[in-house]
Chains A and B, each alone.
Chain A
Amino acid sequence: MARILAVDDSPSMRQLVKLALSSGGHQVDLATDGVEALQVAEKQQFDVVITDVNMPNMDGISLVRELRRRTNYRFTPLLMLTTESTVERKQEGREAGATGWLVKPFDPDRLLSIVTKVLA
């Protein structure tokens, strides 16, 4: 079982990600934007962070960049889960330090298998 932080400004998306990952036995914490996610991530260590890109206060790419600056998140898998699918945005995510890019809508089983893969 992994401890996962899911970050999305949409309440229903947060619930759906939590539902999908909980069904695989993972413990899921939630944050509504990058700022809140940073606060939560500083209080406790997560094994994986899954974040949306477009959010108020701090977007997902900035969040990834900030997390990578912290030594305890240097090697943590950070996944982007977003509706955006352009090559440019993916490149931004890659340069910020994201581990992978998933395009919504996600399939629950696929999300679980990707989390398992990045944790291996």
Chain B
Amino acid sequence: MASAAADTRCRCETLGVSAEAAAILLAFAMRESETPAVELGSALERLGQGLRPAAAPAAEALSRELAACVRALQFHDRLMQQLAVIRNLLTRLADHPLPQMAGFGAQRWEELLAALRERLAAGSHDELFELLVRTGGVGGAGGGGAAQAEGSSELF
């Protein structure tokens, strides 16, 4: 009995260390990709400035390509935001190791999810958590709603 408890505690500590290591790796990777993304943005800006005095129709075609770049590059920003949320979640896991839970059967998975849900109940974290664990991935009902809102605008 005491040995099982020690084993579980050890597993929780390992999980905490792994979560912390993952959070640090994520933070490094995010920082590393920021400069190239900014450089790409600057290059696009220079291209845009170079285009302005140019004559149509070549300039029009290039403007369209530039607009496509602007749309596409925004997904880097979104990725950074999602990674930041994951990094924060990992940090919280590292700070607060999960309760004693042995095994990885279906019941344990449910218990693990319940424990995580309880810890990560705050607003956007909860939303992300639901998105991550939803069977069928992000293309499900909830994800579809968010995808439909993308690029939308509303004047009050």
Query: Residues of A with Cβ closer than 8 Å to B?
Result: 10-13, 15-16, 18-20, 22-23, 83, 85, 90, 93-94, 98-110, 114, 117-118
Contacts and interface: CB of A to CB of B under 8 A. Distances in A.
Nearest to B149: A85
Contact of B78 (A23, A83, A107, A110): A83
Contacts, number: 99
B153 A18 contact: no
Contacts of B150: 85, 103-105
Contacts of A106: 71, 74, 151
Given A83-B78, A85-B146, A105-B78, A100 B70 contact: no
A106 B38 CA distance: 18
A23 B156 contact: no
A18 B151 contact: no
B140 interface: no
Select the residue from A11, A12, A90, A108 with max chain B CB neighbours within 10 A. A12
A18 B73 CA distance: 13
Nearest to A106: B151
Interface string B61-80: 00100110011011111101
Contacts of B152: 85, 102-103
B73 A16 contact: yes
Contacts of B41: 11-12, 15-16, 19
A23 B49 CA distance: 8
Contacts of A13: 74, 77
Contact of B156 (A16, A99, A105, A108): A99
Contacts of A114: 153, 155
Interface range on chain B (Cβ under 8 Å from partner)? 20 to 34
B153 A103 contact: yes
A28 B22 CA distance: 38
Nearest to B75: A105
A12 B77 contact: yes
Given A12-B76, A105-B75, A19 B156 contact: no
Contacts of A118: 155
A90 B155 contact: no
Select the residue from B70, B150, B151 with max chain A CB neighbours within 10 A. B70
B56 interface: no
A106 B74 CA distance: 8
B34 interface: yes
A60 B149 CA distance: 19
